[in-house]
Amino acid sequence: MAKALPLSPLAQPLPRLEPVAGVRLGAVAAQIRYKDRTDLMMMEFEPGTTAAGVFTRSKCPAAPIDWSRAALAQGTARALVVNSGNANVFTGRAGVHATQISAAAAARVVHCAATEVFLASTGVIGEPLDAERISDAMPALYDKLSPDGWEDAARAIMTTDTFPKAATRKVEIAGETVTIQGIAKGSGMIAPDMATMLGFVVTDAAISHDVLQALLHMGTDRSFNAITVDSDTSTSDMVLVFATGQTGTPPITSLADPQLTAFREAFDSLLLELALMVVRDGEGASKLFSVKVNGAVSDESAKKIALAIGNSPLVKTAIAGEDANWGRIVMAVGKSGEPANRDTLSVAIGNTWIARMGTVIEGYDEAPVIAHMKGREIEIQIDLGLANGHAQIWSCDLTHGYIDINGSYRS
């Protein structure tokens, strides 16, 4: 299905991906749903690798979500197995069984416990996943693993994505260069029967599970949890991070460790880069927009207001139409249910303030606003004038392309 979609106009090229010490990875075609394309990806980690994860808040999560959440309890990882084509969602006991078979197959080739294997699936919902195809393909997949398999891995996890997504950073810890590198997929929260947001990041730094988990929570809050394509939340969303500790840098076991500062900055920016790629590949997206909210009663309130704007179909269609329709932005603030006062509210588009303290600025210069709306990246700012809460989120416009992709007749 993905093949039929034209490349997103917001697509970004793959960066140069180098090996990360302690991980070998690769992909094969296991014929799970697609024909003649890779749909099964694996990473093998050196013993001692720590893991952290964040998962969908869906109340109807996929079976692999349950599996990986449980695996995370140990805090370590030896393998990650991801298939595309079938999400293993709403598959009952058969779905649970499929996760057991998949993890056992990986554990056999890696020689580890099944509970050290993380699983993720993305694709069609409600159809049984034939895990035999995964276990059958496992020996060949294991033979293909190499430190250079990053691009293959990034491609194998795609569904309706129009471009593969990866990002990389180098940063120093105690005078040693460490690498942080990750891949992601996602384009709609659930695409024509298939899609989901997945992110997998590996670093060769040594970081304890607890610290890694805290970093991931904070980092996703401002990246993967601050983006929206269509407000719909997949049953299978997952971001995992693995630290192999192979650089020989001293293990970081405290969030307060000053060695962590540069790492954290690089890690956060890598998560945001990956997350924004998902928005850039939003179904039908022609423009990326950010919503920055200041002056809210709390950061949490600011984020809710920002998401109300980012998810509003009327704001999203206005962006598609290059229409600086700030009335719809005010509407979205009002509907968020969060504390707001129309008489202290200010609105800017592309750094031009259009309304201040609840009234339109008479004779404001519309020219730079119109020019800004014609660009690929749009910036909306709100100041609520109440307190100091702030947040930023990213979204994409709502176009005919979205309807084409999601409203087409199923054969």
Shortest separation between residue 334's beta carbon and its own copies, angstroms: 3
CB nearer to its own copies: give 65 or 109. Answer: 65
Angle, alpha carbons 303-368-399 (nearest 5°): 55
Q: Give kind and range of the element (H or E) at residue 401.
A: helix 400-406
Asked if 328 is part of the footprint of its own copies (rule: CB under 8 A), the reply reads yes
Asked if 332 is part of the footprint of its own copies (rule: CB under 8 A), the reply reads yes
Could you tell me the CA-to-CA distances from 144 to 70, 138, 148, 211, 318 in Å, in that order? 28, 10, 10, 32, 48
The single residue among 312, 381, 392, 395 that binds its own copies, judged by CB under 8 A, is 312
- β-partners of residue 85 are 123
- β-partners of residue 377 are 288
Asked if 326 is part of the footprint of its own copies (rule: CB under 8 A), the reply reads yes
Asked if 407 is part of the footprint of its own copies (rule: CB under 8 A), the reply reads yes
What one-letter code names the amino acid at 371?
Answer: A
The single residue among 7, 13, 16, 343 that binds its own copies, judged by CB under 8 A, is 343
Asked if 301 is part of the footprint of its own copies (rule: CB under 8 A), the reply reads no
Phi, psi of 67 (to 5 degrees): -60, -50
Asked if 36 is part of the footprint of its own copies (rule: CB under 8 A), the reply reads no
Shortest separation between residue 146's beta carbon and its own copies, angstroms: 35
Asked if 77 is part of the footprint of its own copies (rule: CB under 8 A), the reply reads no
Nearest to 167 by CA among 14, 315, 289, 392: 14
**Residues counted in the chain:** 411
Shortest separation between residue 328's beta carbon and its own copies, angstroms: 6
CB nearer to its own copies: give 125 or 154. Answer: 125
Asked if 398 is part of the footprint of its own copies (rule: CB under 8 A), the reply reads yes
Asked if 385 is part of the footprint of its own copies (rule: CB under 8 A), the reply reads no
Alpha-carbon gap, residue 115 to 104, rounded angstroms? 9
Residues 56-75 that bind its own copies (CB under 8 A): 56-61
- Residue that the structure tokens 């920055």 belong to: 292
Shortest separation between residue 353's beta carbon and its own copies, angstroms: 13
Asked if 406 is part of the footprint of its own copies (rule: CB under 8 A), the reply reads yes
Asked if 54 is part of the footprint of its own copies (rule: CB under 8 A), the reply reads no
Asked if 91 is part of the footprint of its own copies (rule: CB under 8 A), the reply reads yes
Shortest separation between residue 392's beta carbon and its own copies, angstroms: 20
Phi, psi of 227 (to 5 degrees): -125, 155
The single residue among 44, 161, 338, 383 that binds its own copies, judged by CB under 8 A, is 338
CB nearer to its own copies: give 106 or 405. Answer: 405
In 205-353, alpha helices (H): 209-221, 260-280, 299-311, 313-320, 326-335
Residues 358-377 that bind its own copies (CB under 8 A): 358-360
CA dihedral of residues 373, 374, 376, 379 (deg, nearest 10): -10
Residues 118-147 that bind its own copies (CB under 8 A): 124-127
The two structure tokens encoding residue 310: 């980012």
Asked whether 248 and 176 are in contact (CB, 8 A), the reply is: yes
Hey, which residues are catalytic here?
A: 196
